[in-house]
Amino acid sequence: MTGPTPLAGLKVVEFTHMVMGPAVGSILASLGAEVIRVEPIGGDRTRNLVGSGSGYFPMYNRHKKSICLNLKSEKGLEIARQLADGADILVENFRPGALDRLGLGYDKLAETNERLVYCSEKGFLPGPYENRTALDEVAQMMGGLAYMTGPPGQPLRAGSSVIDVTGGMFGVIAILAAVEERHRTGKGQMVQSSLFETTVYLVGQHMAQMAVTGKAADPMPARISAWAIYDVFQTRDDPIFIGVVTDVLWEKFCKLFGLDVLWADESIRENNNRVAARERIMPQIRKLISGFARDELIEKLEGTGLPFAPIARPEDMFDDPHLNSGDGLEETILADGSKTKLPTLPIAMSGKRPSSSFTMPEAGADAQETLAALGYDDADIEELLSTAAVG
């Protein structure tokens, strides 16, 4: 690791699949923790997903080690328990009770490792729904996010695995809180994060809106914005978003574009009055913006303090000058040997990003090193690797 490694020295064992659980381990690993990913023999099936799932594994499994274990075999389970006994943190996101039935639940593991922080990432926290199977999209539909994202009557999931990833982030927050508490008590604990409750937390602003105004929030495409100018505008070529979110910025916007008539109208000097007059103001603004090319407009807005954004696609980020000027993207060598750049953890510590180049491990690539660290000698390791217990 070339960036900050504040979690160096923490050992993590990860029993996960798909996105939510791996996202937890990915964040911890990016911050310097040693993360050993336990995969089934032959590798996690997430490695071979197609379509929209083809990016899951490389994005959320960087900086980890890999060992494949047959958890249906006595020896595979023994090794899994040994890994848990030596771990500071365990992360899992399988169906409720799955690891308990294998003797890998928190209560059992805490008997021999009382310092263990056990993070269980689930669809739902305890309650009537806790045994349901949930996915990112299920949670978005149930929790109100899909309703708020799509046009009225057309619920639409967000354009990334936002709940999986955010749920993973809340899992990391809970883990770090438990590690801090362990400094005082000497004991670990079980922490949980979930898809459904994460979704509800994210739509909490709309719940609060209902509580404050007595009126349910409209879906975002049909909402009454808090600001008059807060929209996507069509230029001569490509669209651009512009927001004017304060009265000071309204004055700046009018002067920048020579809107003397609008600025002279004292009835719209205050934001709420501009919102009420939006149908009168917006046609004038749209006509104004349509006369610029997008790049001309960006040049004009740059450095003014006015919020603006060209409408980009994910693939545009590979060449984004801001990301490429520092460590916003880190080099990753994929399983097929090809090189790419993927987003670095979006934080800085003392001005440095936790970024480093990384090669995706093949399934089980770190089995020998991991087994040796557990005390197995070369003969034992060779025997284990020749059986179906370890891969």
Q: What is the mean pLDDT, run by run of 10 residues, along the chain of 391 residues?
A: 88 97 98 97 95 95 96 96 98 95 97 98 97 96 98 96 98 98 98 98 98 96 90 97 97 97 96 95 97 97 97 97 94 93 96 89 94 95 89 83
Q: Map residue 241 onto helix, strand or coil.
A: strand
With beta carbons less than 8 A apart as the criterion, state whether 259 and 228 touch: no
Q: Do 115 and 186 contact (CB within 8 A), yes or no?
A: yes
Predicted pLDDT at 123: 97
The Cα–Cα gap between 369 and 113 comes to 22
Q: How is domain 11-202+327-386 classified at the CATH fold level?
A: Rossmann fold (3.40.50)
pTM, to two decimals: 0.94
Q: CA of 147: how far to CAs of 152, 159, 190, 383, in Å?
A: 8, 14, 33, 55
Cα three-residue angle 157-158-160, rounded to 5 degrees: 120
- Find the Cα–Cα–Cα–Cα dihedral 158, 163, 169, 173, rounded to 10°: 130
**Residue 3 confidence (pLDDT):** 84
Residues 6+ apart with CB under 8 A from 334: 58, 340, 360
Residue 322 is predicted with a pLDDT of: 96
Instruction: Quote the CATH superfamily of domain 225-313.
Output: formyl-coa transferase, domain 3 (3.30.1540.10)
pLDDT of 335 reads 86
**DSSP code of 357?**
-
| Residue 12, pLDDT score | 98
E strands of 279-357, at which residues?
A: 308-310, 329-333, 339-343
8 A C-beta contact, residue 389 and residue 79: yes
Domain ranges of the chain: 11-202+327-386, 225-313
- Give the pLDDT of residue 212: 97
| 3-state secondary structure at position 31 | coil
CA atoms within 13 A of residue 305's CA, in its CB half-sphere: 10
